[in-house]
Amino acid sequence: MATQKHSPAIKGAKVLMVGAGGIGCELLKTLALSGFQDIHIIDMDTIEVSNLNRQFLFRQSHVGQSKAKVARDAVLKFRPHISITPYHANVKDPDFNVDFFKQFNVVLNGLDNLDARRHVNRLCLAADVPLIESGTTGFLGQVTVHVKGITECYECQPKPAPKTYPVCTITSTPSKFVHCIVWAKELLFAKLFGDKSQANDLNVRSSDGASSSEQAEDVFEHSKDEDIEQYGRRIYDHVFGYNIEVALSNEETWKNRNRPKPIYSRDAMPNDVSQQNGNVEKNGATNDPSLVSAMVSLGLKNPQDVWSLMENSRVFLEALKLFFMKRGKEIGNMIFDKDDQLAVEFVTAAANIRATAFGIPLHSLFEAKGIAGNIVHAVATTNAIIAGLIVIETVKVLQNDAKNYRMTYCLEHPTRKMLLMPVEPFEPNKSCYVCSETPLLLEINTNRAKLRDIVEKIVKNKLGMNSPLIMHGAALLYEVGDDLDEAMIKNYAANLDKVLSEFPSPVTSGTMLTIEDLQQELKCNINIKHREEFDEEKEPDGMVLSGWTQATSVVKEDKKSNANVGSTSSASELETDKNNEIETAPGKKRKLSDVSEADTSSVAGDTKSHGKFEVLDDDDDDVVMLNDWGSAANKKLRSQ
């Protein structure tokens, strides 16, 4: 419970929570027990069975119901006299605009994705409402304070892009199991079961087709009268046999690499084995696609077993058969989902067969699911710790106690004998395009690129704008909105396919574009710089956006220590090395003179080489991106 000293600030506060998942459940409980009287919650999700091991306000009977509404009802049972208003909705809905945010004294985020976090950050800035961010992943967690004009906003430092891999590595020269997972999930699964109109980098022509015609028949096409077992073996032989033989034909590629070994179904699984491959009837007469399983058909029970090549081959063929026999209506519209058991089985088997061909160690279904779904399992205790820290910072914000704001990090291993690492906030980054409106620079080939490239790759993907408006001087190039008439919609759609330099007012080197999002009340300028060529591997978008610079510390009293203390909203990483020792930046709650000289030297050295750190979010379902899945001990946390 809150002390009497804090009671007036707490009881009179109107608080908005965004997210009612792992952190949100703990936070709502702690707010209620701390004396808060008026709490609003926004969450668009419904309760799933997988939530029940850590989101303690929910029960089995609540599965399928709104998280926000059930959380409200659960807390009112032990705090019946407070007001809790739930919204089963997306925080990006137009109803939750700047005016909506202005009614609150503080906003508390417990989100699980970058896009929504940036959206809330911008609305809080526009409404001039303090924001307290949070996130957890496994044993790691963070709470950061963002107050307009006093501390960094959430976007004062750029967040790193998701880990990507060159297409040539995925399709031709995989060296890690994660490469095989990406191939199985993004290429093979998508080709077989996803949108047929989407481009795909898999070689789809057979040896006959390759020698005959550009219009050769797609190997992946399944005719209605073709036996599904025969079709499965044809796909198997093509992707694990023929395609690898094609890759081997380029001798230059394998001069300094281990040569892969093509695998054909006849070698991995003799006919007498394939003929007894699975019993579809073991799946019963279920109408629930999520209950269909190749493992059930084949009698495989333990997801932590590492299957042999023969077992992987049987699972591959059985899963493919089940998709066509039990889930045929979905084929053509499927997207990989880590909670889809059959999809995970198929991707695991395909990745393991490919790994075998390239001499890469095999993984269990449990491990493969973690890689494919970018999963680090949530820890309920971390959520509870972070929720408590959020409430502590909330009280400080409500009392305008700026000198005692702390951004606190929860660590897995002690650093300077601390598991909770407090860091003083940093002042706003004067080069931040969100809170300081500093122009950005976009290098792009203005003679080839179209306006669509800027809208999709820069404005929506990198800048996170939902309803953008783009202007070149007084000329309106692009706009979206419900109030546009049909002629305007057609005009803006036509503009998307125009080359930048071919507009009536050409967009060329030296042009400044003004980008605005009316919902977020965000406006920024982009200076255009023409550039002819880009590195396809390092700059796959064919354009480069820049304009961020490092923020300086707001802490004044100890310049020597601050030289090595990084911005708390930066994009650097916590790295666990082979000895499981976490390297991290120093906190700043007590004076560095209180710490031994050896500790200070060690931490400062780590900071110089690794910079700042920020833990990824995890409001809900165990989401984190690891750069190197090859070793569980050598992992990096990507911040968002």
Is the predicted pLDDT of residue 381 greater than 90, yes or no? yes
Is the predicted pLDDT of residue 359 greater than 90, yes or no? yes
Q: Is 53 annotated in some ligand binding site?
A: yes
Which of the pair, 158 or 608, is modelled with greater confidence?
Answer: 158
Strand, coil or helix: 476:
strand
Catalytic residue among 25, 124, 168, 180: 168
Which 8-state DSSP code applies to residue 250? -
Q: Is 54 annotated in some ligand binding site?
A: yes
Q: Is 435 annotated in some ligand binding site?
A: yes
> pLDDT over 90 for what percent of the chain?
50
| Cβ neighbours of residue 605 closer than 8 Å, sequence gap 6 or more | none
The answer to which of 103-112, 419-428, 613-622 has the lowest mean pLDDT is: 613-622
Q: Is 23 annotated in some ligand binding site?
A: yes
pLDDT of residue 115: 86
pLDDT of residue 287: 58
Is the predicted pLDDT of residue 261 greater than 80, yes or no? yes
pLDDT of residue 3: 53
Q: Is 617 annotated in some ligand binding site?
A: no
Q: In angstroms, what CA-CA distances link 380 with 53, 91, 545?
A: 8, 24, 38
Q: Which helix (H) or strand (E) holds 305?
A: none
Instruction: Give the residue-averaged pLDDT of 500-525.
Output: 90
pLDDT of residue 198: 75
Instruction: Give the residue-averaged pLDDT of 228-232.
Output: 91
Q: Is 156 annotated in some ligand binding site?
A: yes
Q: Which domains does the chain have, with CATH numbers?
A: 1-159+374-434+551-640 (3.40.50.720), 175-359 (1.10.10.520), 440-546 (3.10.290.20)
| Measured distance CA(57)–CA(380) in Å, rounded | 12
The answer to which of 79-93, 96-110, 122-136, 410-424 has the lowest mean pLDDT is: 410-424
Q: What is the pLDDT of residues 312-326, one digit of tens each?
A: 999 999 999 999 998
CB 624 within 8 A of CB 618: yes
pLDDT of residue 438: 82
CA nearest to 309, candidates 359, 276, 349, 368: 349
pLDDT of residue 478: 93
Instruction: Give the residue-averaged pLDDT of 259-277.
Output: 77
pLDDT of residue 232: 93
Q: Is 117 annotated in some ligand binding site?
A: yes
Q: Which residues of 481-496 are buried (b: 16+ CB within 10 A; e: fewer)?
A: eeeeeeeeeeebeebe
Is the predicted pLDDT of residue 260 greater than 70, yes or no? yes
pLDDT of residue 279: 57
Q: What is the pLDDT of residues 138-180, one digit of tens each?
A: 899 999 999 999 999 998 887 766 677 777 788 888 999 999 9
The answer to which of 17-21, 278-282, 487-491 has the lowest mean pLDDT is: 278-282
Q: Is 349 annotated in some ligand binding site?
A: no
Q: Is 43 annotated in some ligand binding site?
A: yes
Q: Is 21 annotated in some ligand binding site?
A: yes
Instruction: Give the residue-averaged pLDDT of 527-548.
Output: 86
Q: Is 116 annotated in some ligand binding site?
A: yes
pLDDT of residue 26: 96
The answer to which of 17-31, 197-211, 296-310 has the lowest mean pLDDT is: 197-211
Q: Is 19 annotated in some ligand binding site?
A: yes
Is the predicted pLDDT of residue 555 greater than 60, yes or no? no
pLDDT of residue 615: 43
| 478 strand-pairing partners | 470
Is the predicted pLDDT of residue 559 greater than 90, yes or no? no
Is the predicted pLDDT of residue 389 greater than 60, yes or no? yes
Instruction: Give the residue-averaged pLDDT of 557-573.
Output: 34
CB 352 within 8 A of CB 183: no
| Measured distance CA(369)–CA(347) in Å, rounded | 9
Q: Is 115 annotated in some ligand binding site?
A: yes
pLDDT of residue 51: 86
Q: Which amino acid is at 637?
A: L
Is the predicted pLDDT of residue 349 greater than 60, yes or no? yes
Q: In angstroms, what CA-CA distances link 285 with 83, 282, 288, 316, 341?
A: 47, 9, 9, 22, 17
Task: State pTM to two decimals.
Answer: 0.69
Q: Is 337 annotated in some ligand binding site?
A: no
Is the predicted pLDDT of residue 597 greater than 60, yes or no? no
| Measured distance CA(235)–CA(229) in Å, rounded | 10
Strand, coil or helix: 529:
strand
Considering the chain, what is the average pLDDT of its residues? 80
CB 119 within 8 A of CB 388: no
Instruction: Give the residue-averaged pLDDT of 446-465.
Output: 91
| Cβ neighbours of residue 275 closer than 8 Å, sequence gap 6 or more | none
| Cβ neighbours of residue 208 closer than 8 Å, sequence gap 6 or more | 216
Cβ atoms within 10 Å of 299's Cβ, excluding its own = 9
- Does residue 124 have an active-site annotation? no
Phi, then psi, of 291 in degrees rounded to 5: -95, -10
pLDDT of residue 384: 95
Q: Is 432 annotated in some ligand binding site?
A: yes
| Measured distance CA(116)–CA(155) in Å, rounded | 12
pLDDT of residue 622: 38
Instruction: Give the residue-averaged pLDDT of 456-482.
Output: 88
Max mean pLDDT range (18-27, 211-220, 434-443): 18-27
| Residue 560 token pair | 């020597």
Instruction: Give the residue-averaged pLDDT of 48-66.
Output: 90
